[in-house]
Structure 1
């Protein structure tokens, strides 16, 4: 019995084992640097040993690992190797290009590039396997069952009655969150050095890893920052800015997102300057034909005979016109928000807003049926508008929170910026609300998710919904027009009796502003809620939602449509208590 006790006392603790491994890695790194300085080969097994030691520390002592940032050190170990391989590849490409440009006759060596690329891909694939294995080990250590990753992981942590288990689960999820980001980076590097379909596949895999990381820890800005980088690869300026904004509008913003966002806005400024000037042409140009009386009959006969042949051309022309208009809209919309974020070229704001407003109206189209001009299907259109309104919301949110410690000049500038931001958000959302009101089937419109996001944000922020005493005439008129169209829209929503809006079994989320957060339990989380989970301006609206079931715009049914309409009406009820239109109170008569 005494011998066993002595053995227990002599066995090193987890902290001691972690400390020894950490010191061993410090020594291995010193040896590697000495070898590099002396330009002699280093121990080929040292890198593998360091990786194993870091992995052991992570699994041995979480507190020690966090204290010494071991997970990041482990990634840096991989990243340094990635940088070395990228440098070798770039040097080989440059060498081949230099020899060709100088007319030097050297034997072609495509095998060298192929060999380096293969070596690079092999390393990335092996590292991917390592991180997948590490996730499995972390899951086993903290008791995370297979498939535990879900959009409701955070809620499950909060609801867990076992305090220790809850803490362990949180530790495990955060570690898995980081591993997923590293897996996304590895896939992204594979895509950068891939070809054709493989490039697209790897980028899609990277996006999937980043989105999974965001879903299990929505308060982190890191995955959104990486998604912004992916969006920039494809030239998706609006998508990149949306993700950069998301990486800033969380509890744990990503440190370099603001700097990278400014770079993105500068690139957009250049692209904006390349657009044609104040051109407000329709999406499809109608041919102008003027005929005399005697020629009209012949012309009509010719047109009739060619009508069938012209239809495909007209369709292609329309599709091309829509694509061009959408591209211009995205560039101008990003420029609009770039002016407010960078606080430069403010004198151009009104002109840019006019162009953006015109483009948006053109893309929203007119008539009783919707046209899918923001994407290939209704889901893409809905998502684009949700991201658009989120960018506008963050622009206002960002300006409102930057008020502490400012000089008088900065306060004056901020006031002017806020005036412009409010004009932009209320004017553009007026067009969306007005367009939705014109539709035959309002309840199925792809504009509803964006409208819900906007109205719930206003319901969360009565100081935004209600104009202050310092508003200028332009903002006052813009707000008034928005609320007139919004009331008309809400009245049309109320007229949809087939949706069962008047049922009493579902209490509304925002019936009373003073009881905003506690009015409803387990309110159905919709696609737009999952998309914007963790987005600080909307956190108050999300605290009462049930995120236990993942939903997407593609798979929505009547239940989701009903829930969305009810929540829009609920937000409308809350806003009716605080807003006034033309000096008149708004009455919600249910």
Structure 2
């Protein structure tokens, strides 16, 4: 029975497809002969395509029937647009020659166009209802998650239905967009909002598709929102099924932005009479005055408008400069101007962040708009690093060098901007309520899941090193403040329900590893419970900080978490009880020639460069059965045991680590002798010291190691060891020397043989 039905469906589909081919040939002949075609032919072709689509899905996919059906509508749209543009061009001449004409020709064509678009919209709505009924899809909210508990052929069929509905939503969005383009007054804005809702629903239905984001980018370009447009273009490229046309459109968008940037410079003067108020940091230094400079370039003056600048004007100027910044990195052109553009954009951003214990909504009209802006702003930076970090085959030497410069600049920008965001969040009375927190969450989770060469970078210039250290320093301060708040409960767990920022960025390739364990099954799962949403966000930020401290050693200093003090540290791990080498070590190694025992002062992290990330290790520690394993995260995987409470109290009793004015909890390293202070880059304040080399030599311990007797006579020269504590030992010739071999700073002993042969 099924075979008979399948055979008849295929035969009917083939018959209808052949019929449409004949109708199309007749239409073209009529067009060439310039005679009217059959007025019913268009309607007949549409009905045939719809029947094929509903009769035989395999045949439809093979012959791309859905696209052919849309092309049937699009050709009519193109005809009407051509008539409209022609009438608009000839309107002045017609108005002069026909003073007493009937209804305006433009109005007539616009009315016809609107009628056709409305009828086509109704057709696609009905088609979606039929597709849902055919595949058994819910008539309410649809999501790809609804197929997780289906398997076998049933799940495959449902997937086919979802894909068809996804395409219908794109077409409905396009129809609404055309309505807006040829509408008048308020209806234009209303139709663009309708188009946006269709595209967003399509993106929700199929997060792996880049098509709806590309269409949303086009909508953003209509309103002149360059930052939103670039964000959407980036989103359309960073998905499993990218919309490749977006790359070409991005080049066009960046060129338009370059012109806007040049116009912004043209509207400004190099000798300002008024300045925007500077932003004071915690120590009172005016950071609103940016230092625009590069080592090898003559600095350009800061461009500030003579008139008083309003917040919307500052936000507009920042958006233009910020997009220009990423246009330089994406197109890899004008790289020599990166420092100047970055510095002025940074100044604008500091002004918009404001200062003080209360937050100012400078990035939107309300809290949600500000959250969205910051989330998209950070996502653009993440994509820029992701895109620059991709290696392509057959690169020339010039391209390799260029990629290195792009990565250095991209890392510098993202860590510096994030350092400013985290610092601002730290200044607030309650950071958990800040609109900056969603952006901080997606950034640190990206760091935790992304490739190791993003977090642990060996080759970095001074500017990038300064920005990275500034971020980790501020992030540790922020984490400690969050932990000190009474509202934070470490024992709280709960399902990892997707937050609004997760829903906004679902399918975004750089963040996909962290989204695998999130529950997207419902919309607005937290409802109006703002406290529950806030608590879940704080829990994830802190848990991610602990996971980074456990599994990754960011930079050369590293961040550490002390579970007893419930405090994060930056620079050197908290005081630990050093294990003592076994007293009878000489017996264990009696027959060995020479053995070097090395005990680093910091837990050693071996990074496998062939690894593509730390997804497994982070997932095991951060996400276990959908809950937050905070107790597990509180104990880093290290062979060095933590000291007792008395040891910790003694170790920290003389350190002023808990003053918020000092910002991060910094422990000075005993190896500061190999570190030198560095200056900031283009307005980046220099707060820390940096190693000249990522490795340092082990500290040579003179005298007997544990397990040997104390020498009878103390050597007067503390720098030399006469080995008098070792009976029968004769100092042999040694022409070698010890090297660091990449070890962290630590201690080693040379254990010679206890007897000499011959």
TM-score interval w.r.t. the shorter chain? 0.7 to 0.9
- The correspondence of residues 324-403 of structure 1 with structure 2, limited to 5 A, is 324-403=313-392
Cα contact 2:370–2:435 (8 A) shared by 1: yes
Q: In 1, distance between residues paired with 2:558 and 2:234?
A: 36
Q: 1:529 to 1:11 in 2, by over 3 A?
A: closer
Q: Of Structure 1 and Structure 2, which has the larger fraction of its residues in helix?
A: 1
Q: What are the Cα deviations for residues 112-133 of structure 1, in whole angstroms up to 9, with x where unaligned?
A: 1111111100000000000000
Q: In 2, distance between residues paired with 1:47 and 1:374?
A: 49
Q: In 2, distance between residues paired with 1:471 and 1:538?
A: 24
User: Counterpart of 1:538?
Assistant: 511
- The correspondence of residues 23-34 of structure 1 with structure 2, limited to 5 A, is 23-34=18-29
User: Counterpart of 2:88?
Assistant: 93
Q: Aligned-pair distance for 1:369?
A: 0.3
Q: In 2, distance between residues paired with 1:95 and 1:486?
A: 63
Pairing partner for 1:144 from 128, 137, 154: 137
Q: Aligned-pair distance for 1:383?
A: 0.4
Pairing partner for 2:521 from 532, 541, 548: 548
Q: Which region of structure 1 is more displaced relative to structure 2, 228-237 or 407-416? A: 407-416
- The correspondence of residues 168-567 of structure 1 with structure 2, limited to 5 A, is 168-276=157-265, 277=268, 282-283=275-276, 321-500=310-489, 502-503=490-491, 505-506=493-494, 522-551=495-524, 555=528, 557-567=530-540
Cα contact 1:191–1:203 (8 A) shared by 2: yes
Q: What are the Cα deviations for residues 11-40 of structure 1, in whole angstroms up to 9, with x where unaligned?
A: 952111111111111111111111111111
Q: Aligned-pair distance for 1:588?
A: 4.4
Q: 1:562 to 1:185 in 2, by over 3 A?
A: same
User: Counterpart of 1:69?
Assistant: 64
Cα contact 2:239–2:508 (8 A) shared by 1: yes
- RMSD of the TM alignment (CA)? 2.3
Q: Given the alignment of the two structures, is residue 134 of structure 1 paired with residue 130 of structure 2, yes or no?
A: no
Q: In 2, distance between residues paired with 1:505 and 1:40?
A: 73
Structure 2 SS opposite 1:275: helix
Q: In 2, distance between residues paired with 1:109 and 1:576?
A: 77
Q: 1:554 to 1:98 in 2, by over 3 A?
A: farther
User: Counterpart of 1:309?
Assistant: none
Q: In 2, distance between residues paired with 1:109 and 1:553?
A: 58
Equivalent residue pairs, number: 531
Q: Given the alignment of the two structures, is residue 118 of structure 1 paired with residue 111 of structure 2, yes or no?
A: yes
Q: In 2, distance between residues paired with 1:552 and 1:142?
A: 27
User: Counterpart of 1:57?
Assistant: 52
Q: 1:78 to 1:61 in 2, by over 3 A?
A: same
Q: What are the Cα deviations for residues 297-337 of structure 1, in whole angstroms up to 9, with x where unaligned?
A: xxxxxxxxxxxxxxxxxxxx98x610100000110111000
Structure having the higher Rg = 2
Q: Aligned-pair distance for 1:576?
A: 1.3
Q: In 2, distance between residues paired with 1:279 and 1:545?
A: 52
Q: What are the Cα deviations for residues 473-525 of structure 1, in whole angstroms up to 9, with x where unaligned?
A: 1111111111111111111111123232x11544xxxxxxxxxxxxxxx4121
Q: In 2, distance between residues paired with 1:376 and 1:468?
A: 39
Q: Aligned-pair distance for 1:470?
A: 1.6
User: Counterpart of 1:575?
Assistant: 548
User: Counterpart of 1:155?
Assistant: 145
Cα contact 2:448–2:544 (8 A) shared by 1: yes
Q: Aligned-pair distance for 1:406?
A: 1.8
Cα contact 2:479–2:542 (8 A) shared by 1: yes
Q: In 2, distance between residues paired with 1:222 and 1:199?
A: 23
Structure 1 SS opposite 2:561: coil
Structure 2: gaps spanning 5 or more residues: 279-306, 567-758
Q: In 2, distance between residues paired with 1:388 and 1:558?
A: 25
Q: Aligned-pair distance for 1:148?
A: 3.7
Q: In 2, distance between residues paired with 1:82 and 1:430?
A: 50
Q: 1:221 to 1:240 in 2, by over 3 A?
A: same
Q: TM-score, normalised by structure 1?
A: 0.86
Q: In 2, distance between residues paired with 1:581 and 1:142?
A: 53
Q: What are the Cα deviations for residues 395-438 of structure 1, in whole angstroms up to 9, with x where unaligned?
A: 01011124333222211111110111000111111111110000
Q: What are the Cα deviations for residues 168-203 of structure 1, in whole angstroms up to 9, with x where unaligned?
A: 111111100000110000001011111111111111
Q: 1:579 to 1:282 in 2, by over 3 A?
A: farther
Q: In 1, distance between residues paired with 2:362 and 2:52?
A: 52
Q: 1:584 to 1:184 in 2, by over 3 A?
A: closer
Q: In 1, distance between residues paired with 2:90 and 2:377?
A: 45
Q: Aligned-pair distance for 1:581?
A: 5.8
Q: 1:588 to 1:212 in 2, by over 3 A?
A: farther
Cα contact 1:484–1:581 (8 A) shared by 2: no
Q: Aligned-pair distance for 1:233?
A: 0.5
Q: Given the alignment of the two structures, is residue 83 of structure 1 paired with residue 78 of structure 2, yes or no?
A: yes
User: Counterpart of 2:727?
Assistant: none
User: Counterpart of 2:739?
Assistant: none
User: Counterpart of 2:15?
Assistant: 20
User: Counterpart of 1:307?
Assistant: none
Q: Aligned-pair distance for 1:10?
A: 10
Q: In 1, distance between residues paired with 2:83 and 2:160?
A: 38
Q: Which region of structure 1 is more displaced relative to structure 2, 560-569 or 110-119? A: 110-119
Q: What are the Cα deviations for residues 121-152 of structure 1, in whole angstroms up to 9, with x where unaligned?
A: 00000000000000000000000121042xxx
Q: In 1, distance between residues paired with 2:42 and 2:251?
A: 37
Q: What are the Cα deviations for residues 190-221 of structure 1, in whole angstroms up to 9, with x where unaligned?
A: 11111111111111100000000000101000
Q: In 2, distance between residues paired with 1:527 and 1:389?
A: 15
Q: 1:527 to 1:358 in 2, by over 3 A?
A: same
Q: TM-score, normalised by structure 2?
A: 0.67
Q: 1:282 to 1:445 in 2, by over 3 A?
A: farther
Q: 1:279 to 1:201 in 2, by over 3 A?
A: farther
Q: In 1, distance between residues paired with 2:423 and 2:56?
A: 58
Cα contact 2:456–2:554 (8 A) shared by 1: no
Q: What are the Cα deviations for residues 412-466 of structure 1, in whole angstroms up to 9, with x where unaligned?
A: 1111101110001111111111100000011100000000010000001252453
Q: In 1, distance between residues paired with 2:75 and 2:183?
A: 20
